[in-house]
A and B are shown apart, each in its own frame.
Chain A
Amino acid sequence: SQTIHQWPATLVQPVGSPLSLECTVEGTSNPNLYWYRQAAGRGLQLLFYSVGIGQISSEVPQNLSASRPQDRQFILSSKKLLLSDSGFYLCAWSTGGVEKLFFGSGTQLSVL
């Protein structure tokens, strides 16, 4: 069966520090991968998605970047965090077709 791992679960970082959130998927190959952000009291915003290794589509210009170094690995990064980067970050995968998304358990990022 397929599983998705996302870590860490919580993270507290100072303003200006770097960020690296990792997401891996097991039990499937060539998934579509996604990073979403859920800010406090707000909805789900698509940040990046990837349909293959090295292929990244950015939805919102911002302080963040994404990379897909391996088929089932998706990394969200920042060189210098801003206060506004705080939020709940969710990784997800799908196999295409109906595009049912399967979500990780999320990372709560607090930038202080």
Chain B
Amino acid sequence: GEDVEQSLFLSVREGDSSVINCTYTDSSSTYLYWYKQEPGAGLQLLTYIFSNMDMKQDQRLTVLLNKKDKHLSLRIADTQTGDSAIYFCAETHSSASKIIFGSGTRLSIRP
């Protein structure tokens, strides 16, 4: 079956890089996503990557995909207090109409 796993918490110092990790089980995954949820709000799509890519960079965000190990990571450079949120990893495949989410990683920033 499909499963997406993430660690629940991550604490980093302001200005450092944050790396949030995710593993998934569905080898037919086609698209992998990172969503951000701020307190009391819905989720917003941060970035996504196709399974035939290894890396995608968008300003402070870098997504790395290791398809062999089914491992996805999100790196946030120069982490700011506004980056405090829950980050969800998610996956789907082209024949599916649903997206499966991980449990979310709560990122907290310390001064």
Contacts and interface: CB of A to CB of B under 8 A. Distances in A.
Interface of A: 6, 32, 34, 36, 42-44, 46, 49, 51, 57, 59, 90, 92, 94, 96, 98-106, 108
Contacts of A101: 33, 35, 43, 45, 90, 99
Contacts, number: 60
B103 interface: yes
Interface in B67-99: 88, 90, 92, 96-99
Contact of A46 (B31, B33, B100, B102): B100
B97 A96 contact: yes
Nearest to B106: A41
Interface of B: 6, 31, 33, 35, 40-45, 48, 88, 90, 92, 96-104
Contacts of B6: 43
Given A32-B97, A49-B97, A59-B98, A43 B43 contact: no
Contacts of A102: 45
Main secondary structure of the interface of B (DSSP, over half): strand
Main secondary structure of the interface of A (DSSP, over half): strand
Contacts of B99: 34, 46, 94, 99, 101
16 contacts: A34-B98, A43-B101, A44-B88, A46-B98, A46-B99, A46-B100, A90-B43, A92-B43, A98-B48, A99-B99, A100-B33, A100-B45, A100-B48, A101-B99, A103-B43, A105-B42
Nearest to A101: B99
A106 B42 contact: yes
B31 A98 contact: yes
